[in-house]
Structure 1
Amino acid sequence: MISAGMRTSFFCNTCICKPGLFRNSQGKCVDDCYSEPCGDPNALRAGCAQEKRCLPSCLQLVWNQTLPRWCKDEPCIPFAWVCKGGYVYDPHSNKCIPHLECKLAFSV
């Protein structure tokens, strides 16, 4: 038990990768993450990409909307994933879906 007024600090026993290195899915520091799995077979690693909310989605494809202006100023995320050609990001499933699925889902 911890009585009132006592404080406890917890520290994680992990190492930090040197600048220019990234921690991969096995916990090792590597100089690139291109071979890291994306968790989506329709996505691939990019050397530099914007965060997911700035990826082209069905809104841009079906309703001809443009990405928000602030997306142009978003910083680059090293080795982030992007959708393969012919696919767009679906924020509901957090996956890349074929363009055709957008058209079917939003057809009126």
Structure 2
Amino acid sequence: MELDTPVPSLVSAGSPPENGVWKPQTVHAVAAAKALAYERETPVERAFVEYPTYGVIREVPLTTRRKAAYRTAVRTLESIDGPPPRLDDRSKCESCEYREECGVKTRSLRSLLGLG
């Protein structure tokens, strides 16, 4: 194990799978490795995901398949065209069995922060 090369380590509060790491954690690990490589201007070819509750540390080599999963996630994010549309009606509540007694008001994050 080379100690001169920077390696990102992500901490997960969840439980580890039998082998490897969960796919979302793989994408996060690749993103962290790419950010670290950019910051340090040096190649980063692996990352670690730690599961401290279980005392497990998993190495995540940055394979072509894992980098492709990261690129797919980035493309998906880039394809999102702004925030989701506002719902002025209560159509989202129609299927809920608690709609008559719920009392929840739909508010935007913007209004909760006092910005609009």
Higher helix share: 2
Report TM bin, short chain.
Answer: under 0.3
TM-score by length of 1: 0.22
TM-score by length of 2: 0.21
Instruction: Give the structure with higher Rg (CA).
Output: 2
